[in-house]
Amino acid sequence: MLFIQAAFRNLHPLLQFIFIVCVALTGMGLSVFLGTYVSAAVCDTGGTLPELLSAMSNLDSETGICANLLLNSLNQIIAFGSAGLAYALLYGSASGVGFSSKGKSEHLWKFLVGAVIITMGFSPFLDLSYRLNEWLLVEGSTIHSMAAALEAEAARITEAMLQMETSNQFIATLVAVALLPAICEEWLFRGTIQPIFAKWSGNIHIGIWISAAIFSAIHLQFFGFIPRMLLGAGFGYLVYASGSLWPAILGHFINNGLAVFAAWWLGPQWIAEGMDPSSGSWGIAEAISTLVGAIAIVLSVRWLKRSNDVEVLPI
């Protein structure tokens, strides 16, 4: 195993990245293959791929929602999770790689607290940057039309998955939409792709922003490209400063989990409004919440900066 790790470490970062992408793509294919049979047993979708796809497109039925949640969960685990695991095993323990404890701050609990405050404080900026993002695409352009179509389809799927009537549906949605993406996506993007590009460029900032851009792009929701990239970069800096994936995982879970909880608690009206952050007006209340969020973020960053006595170096 040490020989394999040494050989992998000596590969050019581009080849390491290509390998990880291949693992993730293979995992996506395997997720669909396994999902066909698992969904047939769990969601009663039928035992063939066409039947699975047909059920997933019918979002007005419990079967369709169940199939979407299940396939999303399998994809997170088998595609993203396995790619992160493959890199961690092949590269070995190192600062910034996966769940390695090397370089971890002695004040990790402070970064966990900071992750919660920063994520919640960043929420108003996500709405504002969403509006800016949509405006930059220029309404009426080909790019805007393509992005609008992708956004509408993603919103349709998300709205369906957030329709929860029982506590069991709430738990299943929380796991599929918040918990698994928080763990598996952070493992891949912050614990794998970020250190690869940091090593390639010799600059941690380049690693953080490239991984954040890729993280945003794979969601195929380009009205939200900028806010999602900013959030991903924030998680990246939390990982770099703390030397641990857990603050990013917690922040990611808080961001997604609050949406699931709000949908469960406030119901269909919130879901319809929440899927389009640009639909409401930007007034005094939004400006005040943005200011409060900015103050909370600045104070948290200053507190964490004073607490960070461990220098985390890019590999």
Express each pLDDT in 213-242 by its tens digit: 999 999 877 778 888 999 999 999 999 999
Contact between 290 and 124 under an 8 Å Cβ cutoff? The reply is yes
103: left (phi over 0), alpha (psi -120 to 50) or beta: left
pLDDT confidence of 282, banded at 50, 70, 90?
A: low
Radius of gyration of the chain (CA): 20
Model pLDDT, residue 291 = 86
Q: How far lies 160's CA from each of 64, 92, 144, 157, 166, in Å?
A: 9, 41, 24, 5, 14
Model pLDDT, residue 313 = 42
Model pLDDT, residue 88 = 95
Query: Rounded to an integer, what distance in angstroms lies between the CA atom of residue 100 and that of residue 194?
Result: 14
Q: How far lies 143's CA from each of 25, 130, 135, in Å?
A: 26, 16, 12
Domain range annotation of the chain? 1-92, 103-315
Model pLDDT, residue 312 = 44
How high is the mean pLDDT of the chain?
A: 87
